[in-house]
Chain A
């Protein structure tokens, strides 16, 4: 268990370091309220998707959710098309916003349930299933929007989600933190969390122990889908328009965040707080690169490099090497590792 604490300490340290570095490079403007707020409002979309990927990964057995951003775009596009077909923005802005949010989140949830059912009932490998649904979701978004951007407009409630502050904190960021908190609590205090992690550790044993495999898998992908729907709402709120190919690099970034957070790709371990912190770290780095005036392509390059570097950290346990202060009380007791059977 020391290792999990190590990951948290390392992420906090990285965040602190990045803040200091940013302050030094920019001469203080990096830490200005405005910059912090703008960073916080950019974070939620990708953070929500990353939590979804984390849950799918924790389920083990090669679990991963590649359909996140496609589903987020689909829920934005489809919801905008459906809602604006029988409500107009000018009539009642609040009703429109509420209907839009409700429709988007339900579409996200429905998409997630589809993923979960395909994976648990039909036994399709998660990679293949979510690859297929990614394409299908994106395709559906193209079909309903005709390949064009769909105008959502900025009705009062929606635009305040996208742009306003509550106590100087962007509302979208608050939504993200609340969602993350709820999921963290669900993982920690409900049987679902225990089932999920144990199933990820050893799927076969979980079945013999009588865990509701189908229920857990469907719930996992449904939560992931709901988070995508929520991300879709925030994307729509921030951008006024929704389009099927928004955020094409989000898939990699979500996986990068999750790997950086120390979630095990083979399943069974992951902490929401680490995912949140690593999302924050990534946002800080991204803004720093922006401050440095580097192009998007350099950023892609850096993300790829970073992903591989963190995989190496996870593999060779550099955390323990970098933070020996945390000590290992009984180093001689080996932590039993389940043999990795499936890569």
Chain B
């Protein structure tokens, strides 16, 4: 059991009736994310009522799929006290090489198989990460910076740099397949695609792994204190391989969904967005030193970043401000959570 959990239990036992907002925020940091999200939405809706159109909301939902899948992978690694910056490279690698493979060699491959191959390929690259992190015994940030360049360099120098505009038909069809669609006020057809379902599905699987399996226990234990966890008999090697493999699998899935959704495969895509994803996870209340965090918080963090990215323009702030705003949010959130944790 992680130290933070123990804290939590003893706190809740001693706190008794004295319930307060501060207490709630400290125990469930994602409340603050949620409040921030609601506040931003309300403000934006007041300034620009167009925000509340269903089409905007569906756009936000659609935009959060790829980032959400990435974020779940990063979250599970962060929970174990590591950090990963290579997931975008894994996604780019899997999606582009798979598209090339399907296009040139297996044009008839069914979509389900493509997905499975993407997940498998991503997991394989992730496992390489896991093995390296475990055996080199250096901070995972440095290892994954190395593998990010390794995977991306390999992709661009040996597989190809050509922008593929015409996807294999089954992938294009999958990207367009609607879950439901309706006609908006101005006559445009708004579609929530089927691939959106993968986000709640992956979130549920991640939640299940973290809260209902022994592996989840092991992950939080390693995040709390890796030394103690290994003395308790958790195999650090298994945990590391599982973590990075799982994150890699999610990245592979995210990559292929990215291709299908954009109807083009650009090998230069995705890499460079990893800081946004890490920001989302941290804003969702996961501590970067590990041992804490929830899936719900992560999803809220992703929504927060996606909303910030898409509403700045709606309220009249030029898009050049986006980075500055997100960067300040990271620092504020980090400072806020740290000071909250210190007030015991």
Which of A7-15, A84-92, A225-233, A309-317 forms contacts with chain B?
A: A309-317
Contacts of B2 in A (CB 8 A): none
A162 on the B face (CB < 8 A): no
Contacts of A340 in B (CB 8 A): 137
Contacts of A342 in B (CB 8 A): 81, 289
A189 on the B face (CB < 8 A): no
Interface string of A291-327 (1 = CB under 8 A from B): 0001101111111110110011011000000000000
Say whether, besides A132-B330, A301-B149, A255 and B142 are in contact (CB < 8 Å).
Answer: yes
B278 on the A face (CB < 8 A): yes
Q: A310: nearest residue on chain B (CB-CB)?
A: B146
B238 on the A face (CB < 8 A): no
Residue among A128, A256, A299 with the highest chain B CB neighbour number at 10 A: A128
A258 to B224, CA, bound (A): 29
Contacts of B116 in A (CB 8 A): none
B313 to chain A, nearest CB (A): 14
B227 on the A face (CB < 8 A): yes
CB-based contact A142/B82 at 8 Å: no
Partner of B320 from A64, A118, A143, A295 at Cβ < 8 Å: A143
Say whether, besides A255-B142, A295-B157, A297-B153, A308 and B132 are in contact (CB < 8 Å).
Answer: yes
CB-based contact B149/A303 at 8 Å: yes
Q: B82: nearest residue on chain A (CB-CB)?
A: A343
A249 to B140, CA, bound (A): 18
Partner of A308 from B140, B143, B154, B339 at Cβ < 8 Å: B143
Question: Range of interface residues on chain B?
Answer: 35 or more
Say whether, besides A127-B288, A135-B326, A146-B320, A301 and B138 are in contact (CB < 8 Å).
Answer: no
Question: Range of interface residues on chain A?
Answer: 35 or more
Contacts of B201 in A (CB 8 A): none
A202 to chain B, nearest CB (A): 15
CB-based contact A139/B330 at 8 Å: no
A301 to B335, CA, bound (A): 36
Partner of A122 from B141, B150, B338 at Cβ < 8 Å: B338
B152 on the A face (CB < 8 A): yes
CB-based contact B149/A139 at 8 Å: no
CB-based contact B330/A252 at 8 Å: no
Interface residues of B in 262-315 (CB under 8 A from A): 272, 275, 278-279, 282, 288-289
A127 to B144, CA, bound (A): 14
A32 on the B face (CB < 8 A): no
CB-based contact A124/B150 at 8 Å: no
Contacts of A127 in B (CB 8 A): 83, 141, 288
Contacts of B320 in A (CB 8 A): 139, 142-143, 146-147
B163 to chain A, nearest CB (A): 15
Contacts of A302 in B (CB 8 A): 153
CB-based contact A308/B136 at 8 Å: yes
CB-based contact A133/B327 at 8 Å: yes
B145 on the A face (CB < 8 A): yes
A123 to B340, CA, bound (A): 12
Interface residues of A in 131-177 (CB under 8 A from B): 131-140, 142-143, 146-147
CB-based contact A343/B146 at 8 Å: no
B282 to chain A, nearest CB (A): 6
Q: B341: nearest residue on chain A (CB-CB)?
A: A123
Q: Which A positions have Cβ atoms within 8 angstroms of B? A: 62, 64, 118, 122-125, 127-129, 131-140, 142-143, 146-147, 248-249, 251-252, 255-256, 259, 265-266, 294-295, 297-305, 307-308, 311-312, 314-315, 339-343
A-B contact pairs, 25 of them (CB 8 A): A127-B141, A128-B288, A128-B330, A132-B279, A132-B331, A135-B275, A135-B326, A139-B320, A265-B142, A298-B157, A299-B153, A300-B152, A301-B153, A301-B156, A301-B157, A304-B146, A307-B142, A307-B146, A307-B149, A308-B132, A311-B132, A311-B143, A315-B138, A343-B137, A343-B138
